Amino acid sequence: MGEADPQLHFLFVSFPGQGHVNPLLRLAKRVAAKGPLVTFSTTVDFGCRIRAAAASSRFPFPADSADSGDSHLIPVGRGFLRFEFFHDGGDPNDPNRANLDSLMTRLQSNGPPAVAALIRRQSAAGRPVSCLVNNPFVPWFLDVAGDLGIPGAVLWVQSAAVFSTYFHYHHRLAVFPTDEIPDVTVSLPGIPPLAPGDLPTFLLPRNPYVTLTKVILAQFHNLSKARWVLANSFEELERDTFKALADCSPIVPVGPLVDAGETGENSLIKADIWKAEDHCLEWLDRHEPCSVVYVSVGSVVMLTTGEMAELASGLRNSGRPFLWVVRENLRELLPVGFEEAISEEGRGLVVGWSPQEKVLAHEALGCFVTHCGWNSTLEVLAAGVPVVAYPQWGDQVPDAKFLCEFYGVGVRLPSPAKREEVERCVSAVTEGPEAENMRKRAAEWKAVARAAVASGGSSDRNIAKFVDDVRQFAANGGNDPAFDESAADSIACQLCFEVRST
């Protein structure tokens, strides 16, 4: 096992979604770098998609979900990382297998026994699990941990401000908009006032995504069972929010969980489900510094035909070269002849998927037109690039507010997009009167974000302490009176808030 600690084994289990797997895998790599063995797991179906996208790389995935040998140990820092996937009971040939309602039902019924069996295989192979780590969409994972007597941790994959918003909503600690009173401004400790249009849309009374709301809030039923609640954020970014949460539901910043600046073999360890079109980096090489507009709405957001047409016209009319990520399921929504026209003009490039963090780090980047998912938000902050914020739903809305109004690195593109507004916003962040200040602030955030995860930085120290806590917990045979006391205090604090709010 080299320098790794053979007595310390972390099992990370992720919800099978691109925005969930990526940050959890990045945390898994950073934990492994401190010395432990880390096994990373998600569903077999999602694992197959990751494997297919990485087929041309040297990334050694197991050939089979039940492969529990050590032949695929990947050295990471002082430790090792391995992959082992579990079956969720779905038919890989079912075109509706990714339907959220169906997926959540399968995970809820088939996930616990499958993960429990995976854990037993580790013990049988001589590497018993010391700690289980999951992300929020699989809250039952903490029940599995409790049943097996293994301490559990949760990685919150959105901002601390959004965590606080959901926490206060779930425990009824603040007044939120309702059908009867829709215009409520929400006041929460450590967070600027949030108007209805600033809230995560899943908390609005006319939210059409009821299933997602239930899934998100379900995690707070189990949260008190977690020994550690970690956050993909950094102290310097949300200091007031972390300080306020310390009084009711403490969470520990361990981010930004991005790959910015990562080199060598570790940079190959990714979990993208689409193969990135790396030739776009060569295309960027041909452009002047700070000249290119980069556009991406992530792995889930669906735009309308009208929005695609307006974005297409606005980008062409902006007078700047642009790189636009258009997933295969959105490609047919582009205006007829658009790709051919921009190819002839030599000013635009459309790709199905990009190596986003390499793109954001490229000196040719002038700005990022983004849907403001939290992963993209952290990636752009760590890259120091100004933004045009175009949020659609969920936590993207408050993320956009913070990027533009509090972090000061961009402007908001009104929805639905209009070509004139696209032109105006691109101009504002690249050459407008505030463009220089935005770029300066973006550079400052880049330095702070990189420092947080550098050796000895605030988040790096928190990850080291997390590993040490698990090591001490394991050395004490799972007896941790301090945890029992802190958990009781946390529950008592929640009850105090609930009583006070009634």
35-63 average pLDDT score: 78
Residue 412 lies in a domain: yes
Worst-scoring range by mean pLDDT, 6-10, 68-72, 246-250, 325-329? 68-72
The full DSSP string for 441-480 is HHHHHHHHHHHHHSTTSHHHHHHHHHHHHHHHHHHTTT--
* Residue range 351-405, pLDDT digits in tens: 999 999 999 999 999 999 999 999 999 999 999 999 999 999 999 999 999 999 9
Active-site option among 9, 20, 168, 371 = 20
| 253 and 283 both lie in a single domain | no
Confidence band of 262 (pLDDT split at 50, 70, 90): low
| 335 and 367 both lie in a single domain | yes
Q: How much is the pLDDT for 266?
A: 67
How many domains, in total, are found in the chain? 2
Q: How much is the pLDDT for 195?
A: 97
- What interhelical angle do 419-430 and 435-453 show, nearest 10? 70
| 421 and 437 both lie in a single domain | yes
| 302 and 431 both lie in a single domain | yes
Rounded to a whole number, what is the distance in angstroms from the first to the last CA of the chain? 55
* Residue range 128-186, pLDDT digits in tens: 999 999 988 888 889 999 999 999 999 999 999 999 999 999 999 999 999 999 999 99
CA neighbor of 8 nearest in space, from 148, 131, 155:
131
Tell me if residue 221 is catalytic.
Answer: no
Q: Give yes or no for a contact between 3 and 34, defined as CB atoms under 8 angstroms apart.
A: no
Worst-scoring range by mean pLDDT, 68-72, 183-187, 471-475, 479-483? 479-483
296-311 average pLDDT score: 95
Confidence band of 327 (pLDDT split at 50, 70, 90): very high
CA atoms in the 13 A half-sphere facing the CB of 271: 27
Q: How much is the pLDDT for 490?
A: 43
Confidence band of 265 (pLDDT split at 50, 70, 90): low
Q: Which residues contact 48 (CB under 8 A, 6 or more apart)?
A: 92
Residue 77 lies in a domain: yes
| Per-residue pLDDT at 498 exceeds 90 | no
| 232 and 295 both lie in a single domain | no
| 320 and 245 both lie in a single domain | no
Which of these three, 410, 432, 451, is where a domain ends? 451
**Domain encompassing residue 391:** 274-451
Q: Give yes or no for a contact between 494 and 171, defined as CB atoms under 8 angstroms apart.
A: yes
| 256 and 306 both lie in a single domain | no
Q: How far from 499 is each of 172, 213, 492, 495, CA to CA, in Å?
A: 10, 24, 10, 6
Distance CA 358, CA 107 (A): 34
**CATH number of the domain where residue 285 is located:** 3.40.50.2000
| 290 and 408 both lie in a single domain | yes
| 258 and 381 both lie in a single domain | no
CA neighbor of 274 nearest in space, from 67, 13, 25, 22:
22
Q: Which residues contact 419 (CB under 8 A, 6 or more apart)?
A: 310, 311, 313, 314, 317
Helix (H, G, I), strand (E, B) or coil at 388: strand
| 243 and 125 both lie in a single domain | yes
Can you give the pTM of this predicted structure? 0.90
Regarding predicted confidence, which is higher, 121 or 477? 121
